[in-house]
A and B are shown apart, each in its own frame.
Chain A
Amino acid sequence: MKLIFEYEEQITGHLSDEDIPIELPDDLTRNELPLPNVSEIDVIRHYTNLSKKNFGVDIGFYPLGSCTMKYNPKINEDVAMLDGFRNLHPLSKDDCAQGSLQLMWQLEQYLKEITGMDAFSLQPAAGAQGELLGLLITKAYFKQKGEKRIKAIIPDSAHGTNPATAAMCKYEIIVIPTDSRGNIDLQKFKQSLTADTAIVMLTNPNTLGLFEENILEICDLAHKNGTLMYCDGANMNAMLGITRPGDQGFDMIHLNLHKSFSTPHGGGGPGSGVVGVKSFLADYLPIPRIIKQDNKYILNNIKRRSVGRVHSFYGNFGMLVRAYSYIMSWGTDIRKVSEYAVLNANYLLSLLKDIYDLPYDRKCAHEFVISSEKFGEKSALNIAKRLLDYGFHPPTIYFPLIVHEALMIEPTETESKETLDRFSFVLRSIADEIKESPQVVKGAPYTTPVGRLDEVSAARKPNLRWIPK
């Protein structure tokens, strides 16, 4: 398909033109604006046709592990679009913003109850920014206490954002291996926990899809050492109403509202990485905080120990509306989400474990990791590409890094048994294909808008933008 810049000159514009002279000196104004003029009908066709080259949850099964690609209820889109929400200026006086402030305040209360935390900030725009906020709070907390702690403990199964964020905040990273049951190695953990350990960053259930069996002991050991416990809440979809990170002993958590709370992933965002903390860290949360006073909601800018601000305004408000709406529709029944997420994952695992290897033979949480190592090098990649021909989005592959030829599968609760049966049938068929006609799998996909792309020349001869002729 051609680029939007390659259409011939047409009539465009959505405003009536007026003759307004611009009285600015030449050294402030540009000579030309090299943008195309394309008619509305061609713009509509261009992007509609582009959309047809995409895959989303609305098109088919999307078991991308660690990303919780569940169905995004359409009602949430409609409520986020309500005029009163969408057209409110962020610098409106509190009196004019009572609806939005109430929604945010109430969302904080629900998230506190769901996670067992005492206070929330809704500012972080995504999980990685939530992690950054968590580590900024950690720094400020120990600075306040006058303690010099320079280490962050992170398991080898962690998301890449954990070490990347710790490095941004100049922490020395101590990597702990995974034991034979898929838990963080407790002995190694104990040895690594020293007087200068500031924080332990854990994902629970971890990225192998396994609940940390020693979580209570780990948190206990950390606290006795004066170390803070941070929960990467990417996998909250396993725990809603079943167990709470705050009760497990975590001091901080970020939630990805675009995962467990079903705000659409948008082709890579916007997300929302809200952060919850225990009461002793509440004063460190970003300002402004929303407080309720005499039945009015107020943005409070008093800084006290706050680390400051991490967003231009108050976070990705539109995502907060969708998450709030999602929580309201489930209400007290929200436990069912996690129950069925875990049921679906274990069911799918039971259908696959005789053909693919299971590195840690346990019941899984809401997702699981299998290995295709016995089918040879690059088999996970080839299987992923072959799945495209059968109309499925592939699982996450080659992650976590500790499992060779890893396929990380997260079905979510919104899929039917019929879909899971068909997916397992296809994965079995591909395993047969690898044995019988390996070239077919290596050459896949065949039915997609383009075939496998040349990533090497994309990096060697970068073409990253259109350039006017």
Chain B
Amino acid sequence: MDFIPVTEKDRNEMLKQIGVSSIDDLVKEFKPALTRKLNLPKPMSEFELMQHMKTLSKKNTILKYFLGAGSYNHYIPSAVNHLLMRGEFSTGYTPYQAEISQGTLQAIYEFQSFICLLTGMDIANASLYDGASALSEAVLLSSSYNGRNRIFVKDGLHPQYLEVLKTYCEGTELEFTNEIDEKTTCVIAQNPDFYGNIENLGYLSEKAHKVGALFVTCVVEPTSLAILKEPGNYGTDIVVGEGQSFGIPINFGGPYLGFMAVKDFLLKKIPGRICGMTTDVKGNKGFVLTFQAREQHIRRERATSNITTNQGLMALASTIYLALMGRNGLETVAKLSYGRSHLLHKKLVSIGFKPLNKKPFYNEFIIKTPKPSSGIISALLKKGIIGGLELGDDMMLICCTETNTIQDIESFVSTVGEIL
């Protein structure tokens, strides 16, 4: 397949204009020259490509998920993708030229507003890569704000987020601590935590503030914010998290949507793009990227972060999703996710599973299995169900969203019942 429109006649005229006789003359400085063809497959026509990709995609098995753990299978209204596929949105880049990017810029402004409304914070940025890197950026922000380098992480952080955080800390010379004291730069807690537990973290933010540390809340399942207390309400200075639940397919783990929101006093320290409302020469309302003096293309080695390309189109997806669902729709998503998971939990307890959550949970719970979890997972797999995440020999992390129907739940329970 060929996406080059230059004809042979054009090419010859162009070479003549340049003053060379062949394209090879233009690349003769490129050393060392590759003297063979690259060892790649034969080019495919569009038809062949589609057949090939369909075959490949069918090697994956898509089942009914009772599995979350950082990737949540919520329903996505059709309209999201129809709008997202518009080339006006998808084929532009970072809106440096504000006059011809008002669509993207207003959408970012709306995204920032949605994130602030949901989290109860003052300022949000235009997105970061994913939940895990957003958490790492929060730590860098904290350290740059108070000049300290020790991180306290409350139990219950997503293990893969912790791994990413450790990787970032290795490079940036930050370390972990078990004490909250005058050397602590920030205290991190995930809410709901990896095991599903929900807490009012006011006590922990107080503890952090008492020693001058920042308090960071990490939200991995943000539909919970439709019903749960907003983190800004219990003393959080930085909220970071994963926006995938808002209209973004699970897509084998990416592209997802990191987000960050902060209290006013951290405005000049926040990483990434920020969009602001202003006026044009005629006094009309308009939007621009603002506070760019924080960023790498201006500040270079003194930037607040190295980030440039973020997850723009995913931020747009979540904005459209939130607009489509609205207050009522999002509350329904949260209520159904809560309701379905509590229904399954109750049914599993009634057939001999032991509850392990010591606190209330939202749509995900950890439970002790009466038989080895691997056997339970396999039995469910045979019925087309991914029953959850195995945690050790006799524990499972199970999740429901509004896409898990009551029939699915009954089938889950009866399948498990058969092997007990």
Does any Cβ of A come within 8 Å of B178's Cβ? no
B43 touches A329 (CB 8 A): yes
Interface string of A316-330 (1 = CB under 8 A from B): 111101000101111
Q: Of the candidates B19, B228, B256, which one forms a contact with A350 in the assembled complex, judged by CB atoms under 8 Å apart?
A: B19
Q: Is B302 an interface residue (CB 8 A)?
A: yes
A213 proximity list for chain B (CB < 8 A): 29
**Contact (A258, B309) CB under 8 Å given A14-B324, A88-B62, A458-B290:** yes
A93 vs B61: C-alpha distance in the bound complex, in angstroms?
10
A4, A15, A82, A166: the one within 8 Å of B57 (CB)? A82
**B306 partner, pick from A72, A131, A331, A468, beta carbons under 8 A:** A131
The contact of A416 among B5, B54, B173, B298, by CB within 8 Å, is: B5
Q: Is A35 touching B114 in the complex (CB atoms < 8 A)?
A: yes
Distance, CA A321 to CA B254, complexed state (A): 11
Rounded to whole angstroms, the CA-CA distance of A92 and B46 in the bound complex is: 30
CB distance from B325 to the nearest CB of A (A): 6
Residue from A25, A88, A98, A344 having most chain B Cβ neighbours under 10 A: A88
Contact between A458 and B288, CB atoms less than 8 A apart: yes
Check if B349 is an interface residue, CB within 8 A of chain A. Answer: no
| Complex contact A164–B305 (CB within 8 A) | yes
Residue of B2, B37, B158, B360 near A24 (CB, 8 A) is B360
Q: How far apart are B406's CB and chain A's nearest CB, in angstroms?
A: 10
Q: A28-B229, A40-B324, A164-B300 are in contact. Are A264 and B91 (CB under 8 A)?
A: yes
A16's nearest neighbour on chain B, judged by CB, is: B332
Selected contact of A12 from candidates B92, B311, B324, CB within 8 Å: B324
Instruction: Decide: B124 and A265 in contact? CB cutoff 8 A.
Output: no
Q: Which of B79-87, B365-373, B408-416 contacts A (4 or more CB under 8 A)?
A: B79-87
Q: Would you list which residues of chain A between 223 and 277 have a CB under 8 Å from chain B? A: 238-244, 247-248, 256, 258, 262, 264-271, 273
A350 to B18, CA, bound (A): 6
Number of contact residues on B: which range applies? 35 or more
Q: A85-B251, A99-B59 are in contact. Are A36 and B323 (CB under 8 A)?
A: yes
> Of the 9-residue stretches B161-169, B182-190, B208-216, B350-358, which lies at the interface with chain A?
B161-169
> Is the beta-carbon distance between B43 and A267 smaller than 8 angstroms?
no
B379 interface residue (CB < 8 Å to A)? no
Given A30-B233, A35-B114, A452-B281, are A399 and B297 also a contact pair (CB < 8 Å)? yes
- Could you tell me which residues of chain B, from 1 to 24, have a CB within 8 Å of some CB in chain A? 1-7, 10-11, 13-15, 17-20, 23
A180 within 8 A of B: no
The reply to whether B67 and A465 contact each other, CB–CB distance below 8 Å, is no
Contact A310 B75, CB 8 Å, known A132-B306, A244-B34: no
Q: With both chains docked as a complex, state the minimum distance between the C-beta of B12 and any C-beta of chain A, in angstroms.
A: 11
Q: B177 within 8 Å of A by Cβ?
A: no
Do B277 and A463 have beta carbons less than 8 Å apart? Answer: yes
A294 at the interface (CB under 8 A from B): no
B275 within 8 A of A: yes
Which of B69, B75, B132, B332 lies at the interface centre, i.e. has the most chain A CB atoms within 10 A of its CB?
A: B332
Closest to A339 in B: B23
B23: chain A residues at CB < 8 Å are: 339-340, 342-343
Chain B minimum-CB-distance residue to A86: B249
Chain B hits for A168, CB < 8 A: 140, 171-172, 305-306
With A78-B50, A268-B95 already in contact, the answer to whether A91 and B59 are too (CB < 8 A) is no
- Pick from B40, B118, B274, B338: contact of A332, CB under 8 Å: B40
List, in ascending order, chain B residues with CB within 8 A of A22's CB.
227, 335, 338
Is A8's beta carbon under 8 Å from chain B? no
Residue of A nearest to B339 (CB): A20
What are 5 A-to-B residue pairs whose CB atoms are below 8 Å? A40-B324, A58-B87, A58-B90, A256-B309, A453-B278
Given that A89-B386, A464-B275 are known contacts, is A139 also in contact with B288, CB under 8 Å in the complex?
no
| Given contact pairs A24-B360, A268-B312, A465-B116, A308 touches B166 in the complex (Cβ within 8 A) | yes
B92's partner among A54, A308, A457, A463 (CB-CB below 8 A) is A54
Query: Which of A43, A243, A318 lies in contact with B33, CB distance below 8 A?
Result: A243
Q: Is the CB of B386 within 8 A of A92?
A: yes
Please measure, in the bound complex, the distance between the C-alpha atom of A73 and the C-alpha atom of B319, giving whole angstroms. Answer: 25
Q: Among residues 13 to 39 in chain A, which have CB atoms less than 8 Å away from a CB atom of chain B?
A: 13-15, 17-18, 20, 22-25, 27-30, 33-38
Q: Which of B44, B52, B122, B360 contacts A28 (CB 8 A)?
A: B360
